[in-house]
Structure 1
């Protein structure tokens, strides 16, 4: 299948997913495959929480909406314009996905197929329902994909390259088993925000989105703040108050209650507002319903530290020159925002 056909198929998928937005679900009669797939996708969105309690309907639709915006013909062509694929020999790429947020493995799925390779994918049990349904839709709009997409729960065999995402512990396992193959192996990373104290209300509202979207479970979710000494957290607490509804979700409430008890028994000093705890801590990976913070004195010194610890950091949020990503934008990456800064398409084009 030529690249133009692959782009057309994924742009059709984008049009299909765009029917499911965070605000509403509305069928577009011009979209292909609605008779066969619209109800199945609707049911999947509604029932996802039965398979994974963190996969709320709101977050499912948010994910679908963002992919619907990204998967346009223009976006795909611009993304792919710097790469050469059609002269490459087709390889079988093994992909092992995480399951922390809805469709977290879709970018790898897209990258392998759009670059003209076959994929054998082993999904996390926490997110195993969506990609097979998407694969069926792709095969419907482009039957040439049949035979190029394989899902397995067994040990992966007969592959040419590997893309695997997991924790620091599973990364050691991946290194042991897949180290002799061309590979991308991703480990734990967290995202941070750098505050100066002059942020607007809109900045802080956006930061709330960066913190709470997907309950803070994504590697692009802000889990730590760097703030000036004597920083006043009251404006932040005011602007994130709309997220207090998260306590209505039992899993989030349980994590809040448990982590608060652990912190208090350990006599840690906390700032909290009834649904989020702030703890001064040098680490990056804060538990659910909590956020670490550290004070800084000089931005240049902080930048040197972050450069030295960049293998722990996914996104840096901030205002002006101190942040790579504006407030409120961590969960809406572009197609060329590669996880861990590793160019997946370059890797695939060189196989």
Structure 2
């Protein structure tokens, strides 16, 4: 199967996904296979929260819209232009996917297939519906892909390489179990924002998107703020008030109540606005409904610390304060060439 055929199948998938949004889901008669898939996908989205309480329609639609924007001919060509693929015997790549946010493993799935390989996929129990549905659509568009996509509930067997995502604890197991195979093993990472007090209200509101999208469950969510000594959080709290409705989601509210109670019983000093607590803490990984912060006096020291801890960091958000940081509000909008853990998946897949 040629790479062009595979790319075209994903372009068709992108056009299918473009029909779906939280505000306006509208069937486009020009999209292939709508008779078989459109209504079923609407139903699947509506039922997603029953499969995983964190997968509210708003969050699922956001993930779908993000992939609809990514899967265009222009984006796919820009991503793949540096690579020359020749048809060869495909290798089987095991994918052990996370399930913290909707379609979190889709980039690995896409990368394996456009690289000319076969995907052997073990889904997380938290996200078992969306990717198989999209895989079924791809196969309907390009039937030859049926030989290249396999889902399994069993232990991975008969594979040539693996890409596995999990916690720091499961990563140790993965590293041992897959020690004789080419692999990418992903561990826990967090994202941070570095502020200097000169941010506009709009930028701080966009930072709220980086914090709250997917309820803070993703590695690209900002969970830690670096702020200058004496920083006044008043503007920050006013700017993120736009996200106050998150407290109406039961699972988020339960985490907020629980974590706040633990902090108060432990006599920690908190700042609290009724739906988010912020706590001074040197750690990067804050619990759901909470963000840690740390004061700084020297930006260069912050930059050096983040450089030293780069294996713990997924994204750095700032107003150009830190080299290679990204703009506010962009953490959950990665391009195809923005790789998880900064490991180029396509480069890896070319070597197996």
Query: Given the two structures, how large is their TM-score scaled by the length of structure 1?
Result: 0.99
1:243 alignment partner in structure 2 = 243
Task: Give the secondary structure class of the aligned counterpart of 1:99.
Answer: coil
2:300 alignment partner in structure 1 = 300
8 Å CA contact 1:84, 1:349 repeated in 2: no
Alignment of 1:78-93 (within 5 A): 78-93=78-93
Task: Give the secondary structure class of the aligned counterpart of 2:121.
Answer: strand
1:334 alignment partner in structure 2 = 335
Distance 1:338 1:226 in 2: 24
Q: Deviations over 1:131-160 (max 9, x none)?
A: 110111000000110121100110110000
Q: Does 1:343 align with 2:344?
A: yes
Distance 1:45 1:86 in 2: 37
Distance 1:5 1:288 in 2: 42
Moved more, 339-348 or 317-326: 317-326
Q: Does 1:139 align with 2:139?
A: yes
Structure 1 unaligned residues grouped into runs of 5+: none
* Change over 3 Å in CA distance of 1:97–1:20 after alignment to 2: same
8 Å CA contact 2:49, 2:56 repeated in 1: yes
2:278 alignment partner in structure 1 = 278
Distance 2:321 2:233 in 1: 22
| Cα shift at 1:85 | 2.2
1:122 alignment partner in structure 2 = 122
Q: Deviations over 1:28-64 (max 9, x none)?
A: 1111111100011101110000010000000101110
Task: Give the secondary structure class of the aligned counterpart of 1:324.
Answer: coil
Distance 2:66 2:325 in 1: 20
| Cα shift at 1:88 | 4.3
| Cα shift at 1:87 | 4.5
Task: Give the secondary structure class of the aligned counterpart of 1:21.
Answer: coil
| Cα shift at 1:27 | 1.0
8 Å CA contact 1:224, 1:285 repeated in 2: yes
8 Å CA contact 1:93, 1:161 repeated in 2: yes
Distance 1:117 1:139 in 2: 15
2:180 alignment partner in structure 1 = 180
| Cα shift at 1:83 | 1.3
Structure 2 unaligned residues grouped into runs of 5+: none
Distance 2:148 2:89 in 1: 14
Task: Give the secondary structure class of the aligned counterpart of 1:126.
Answer: coil
8 Å CA contact 1:246, 1:252 repeated in 2: yes
Q: Deviations over 1:215-255 (max 9, x none)?
A: 00000000000000010101110011121111111100000
Distance 2:248 2:301 in 1: 41
- Superposed CA RMSD in Å reads 0.8
2:12 alignment partner in structure 1 = 12
2:54 alignment partner in structure 1 = 54
Say how many residue pairs are matched. Answer: 351
Point out 4+ residue stretches in structure 1 off by more than 4 angstroms.
none
Task: Give the secondary structure class of the aligned counterpart of 2:247.
Answer: helix
Distance 1:324 1:46 in 2: 36
Q: Does 1:232 align with 2:232?
A: yes
Distance 1:41 1:178 in 2: 35
Query: Given the two structures, how large is their TM-score scaled by the length of structure 2?
Result: 0.98
Task: Give the secondary structure class of the aligned counterpart of 1:94.
Answer: strand
1:107 alignment partner in structure 2 = 107
Distance 1:105 1:196 in 2: 34
| Cα shift at 1:82 | 0.8
| Cα shift at 1:324 | 1.4
Moved more, 211-220 or 79-88: 79-88
Alignment of 1:23-62 (within 5 A): 23-62=23-62
